[in-house]
Structure 1
Amino acid sequence: MGSAGLARLQGLFAVYKPPGLKWLHLRDTVEMQLLKGLNARKPPAPKQRIRFLLCPVEGSEKKELTLTATSVPTLTDHPLVCGPAFSSLKIGVGHRLDVQSSGVFVLGVGQGCKLLTDLYDAHLTKDYTVRGLLGKATDNFQEDGRLVEKTTYDHVTREKLERILSVIQGSHQKALVMYSSLDLQSQEAYEMAVRGMIRPMDKSPMLISGIRCLHFSPPEFLLEVQCMHETQQQLRKLVHEIGLELKTSAICSQVRRTRDGLFTLDDALLRTQWDLHSIQAAIQAVAPRVAAELEKNMRPQLGTQPLPSPGWPSGSKDLGSALGLESCVGH
């Protein structure tokens, strides 16, 4: 089971990181649980070898000794002699979450560490739910920070909030096109925009591809943010800036990642499931989706050269329509 179990651990899986837990401690806990499962197997029967031992001669009254060929176990491979079969595992982490944040956290074991790099280079988007509180401002944009000011928020309505969110989404989508290095006059650029495949070619600032209000009950509001190249602190700062745009102040009370690329909350293992069997099953279940996603994203991106297309309405305005930028103008 040891080597066979290790073979089934080659790949990616996701766990649910609770708030207040450091990502490094989470990784070490998962490694410890996997090693415990791999080493829990019943050791095989020890090999036998022939040794010549002094034994009394049967029927001799003088207690004479003679050398007798005897089969004895070889203890060089016994766990009490050589230690556990597995003492460490190669476990990599995907996009990190800070201590206060929670949600989907992707890990890779063995060959899965290379897959983590491939997914990172694919620049996949991530989804967050971000909870804000109106009327307060702190030095770190969180509830546990030092209070800087208190403001009124009676004038804030959901319509005003959604108008600000529309402007934010429009400006970030324009930046997304700029960092994607695509030719706006090409048919491929338009088709990629329609399929939502436009992504930056390299590292970029935080880019928001979608943001909307899920719940508004002053002073609380809940946002859903689809973004890439973000940090959780940048999302908290975004809540602060939204408060300023609304002529008030706001702090962030919760950041929760609900999707990391192709991994969703349904794929994330809870703390009680961080064991060898559950992780092996999770890796095997998600492997086909990982392969399909990498195959789709590793294809060379087209659209760097304009292509003739009969009847194709070329122009950056049409690409802007595909991205939904025109609806943000004037808000």
Structure 2
Amino acid sequence: MATREVGGVVLGRAAEKLFSLSGLFAVYKPKGPTSAGVLNLLKEKLLAEAGLQTNRSKRNQVLKIGHGGTLDSAAEGVLVIGIGKGTKMLGTMLAGSKKYTAIGLLGKATDTLDATGKVTEEKPYDQITKGDLENVLQKFTGDIMQVPPLYSALKKDGERLSTLMKRGEAVEAKPARPVRVYSLSLQQFQPPLFTLELSTCATMQELTRTKHGPFTLEEHALHEDKWTIDEIARSLEFCTSLLPGESSHKKLKTEHPGETAVSCEDK
């Protein structure tokens, strides 16, 4: 029985339950789409299940939903979603802990610093040893200043720097930002390898966010086949207990068979 009205439309049971959802949960973002694209698809699926049209009418805009922390289109992993009053909690996720798995490839550099760009330089890497890499990693512990890459989701005049760069527009580097790295360790060393500052070059091949705040990829991120009103309701109930006592550090981990894996924690 319909018991609620939104945007001049009387809601059925599914729609009423959808608009009653409130809190934070996590979904899995695959490689390819942008974070905004994943959010739009999620919203469309929920509105369709609720029997509401998925156009841009005022009725559809009543559903409050957003994400906290952009993942590049080439990256995958945990994307935290806020729905209802949970959208007001997304700001805290931006400063929350994050954990990544990154795969690096030595010997090639690209203009985007990852596998999606054009190769700009190639160098030999046979001379690089495990000890060389471990010594370099030590320089990136403690309080450091980190310069954001030009190909990033940071914005200038409302547009992403990566979008401006791809259009060939001149983009100035953003100022370096303070980062605290608690630990940095080499997990594997099997060339070609991922590195930071050696007499060669490297490119990041893959990036997966495996943790954001208390939400982990394995335990909490809902894949697309679970993007239903009932599944999200269960996830919201379960994830409520995760939010108190959230730690304030950030962790980065890199690991892949046959290539270097590096892990670090920063704030």
Q: Same fold (TM over 0.5)?
A: yes
Structural RMSD (CA): 2.7
Q: Matches of 1:3 and 1:138 in 2, distance apart?
A: 47
User: Do structure 1's residue 293 and structure 2's residue 265 form an aligned pair?
Assistant: no
Q: Find out whether 1:164 has 2:131 as its counterpart.
A: no
Task: Provide closer, same or farther for how the CA distance between residues 127 and 210 of structure 1 changes in structure 2, counting only shifts above 3 A.
Answer: farther
1:279 is matched with: 232
Query: Match of 1:111, SS?
Result: helix
The answer to whether 1:146 aligns with 2:118 is yes
How far apart, CA to CA, are the structure 1 residues paired with 2:223 and 2:15? 26
Q: Residue 264 in 1 paired to residue 264 in 2? A: no
1:17 and 2:44 are equivalent in the alignment: no
Q: Which amino acid aligns with 2:107?
A: G
Deviation, 1:26, is 0.6
The CA deviation at 1:21 is 0.9
Mapped partners of 2:33, 2:216: distance in 1: 20
Q: Give 1:178-217 correspondences, 5 Å limit.
A: 204-217=177-190
- Residue in structure 2 matched with residue 252 of structure 1 by the alignment: 204
2 CA distance for matches of 1:158 and 1:170?
A: 21
How high is the TM-score relative to the length of structure 1? 0.55
Q: In the alignment, what sits opposite 1:101?
A: 75
Distance 1:144 1:124, change over 3 A: closer
* Aligned with residue 5 of structure 1, among 13, 17, 32: 17
Aligned equivalents of 2:101, 2:182: Cα separation in 1: 14
Give the drift of 1:206. 4.5
2: CA distance between counterparts of 1:28 and 1:273?
15
Kept in 2, the 8 Å contact 1:33–1:276? The answer is no
Residue 115 of structure 1 aligns with which residue? 89
Q: Greater Rg, structure 1 or structure 2?
A: 1
Return the alpha-carbon distance in structure 2 between the equivalents of residues 171 and 161 of structure 1.
20
Q: Secondary structure at the match of 1:137?
A: strand
Tell me the secondary structure at the aligned position of residue 154 of structure 1.
Answer: coil
The separation in 2 between residues aligned to 1:211 and 1:151, in whole angstroms, is 25
Cα deviation for residue 3 of structure 1 reads 6.3
Which whole-Å CA distance do the structure 1 matches of 2:180 and 2:43 have between them?
A: 33
Q: How many residues align?
A: 201
Q: Which has the higher strand share?
A: 2
* TM-score normalised to structure 2 length: 0.67
- 5+ residue gaps, structure 1, are 41-78, 80-85, 177-202, 222-238, 298-331
**Alignment-mate amino acid for residue 17 of structure 2:** G
Deviations 1:217-263 (A, max 9, x none): 10034xxxxxxxxxxxxxxxxx5xx1xx2211111111111111111
Cα deviation, residue 34, structure 1: 1.4
CA 1:145–1:7 in structure 2 vs 1: closer, same or farther (change >3 Å)? closer
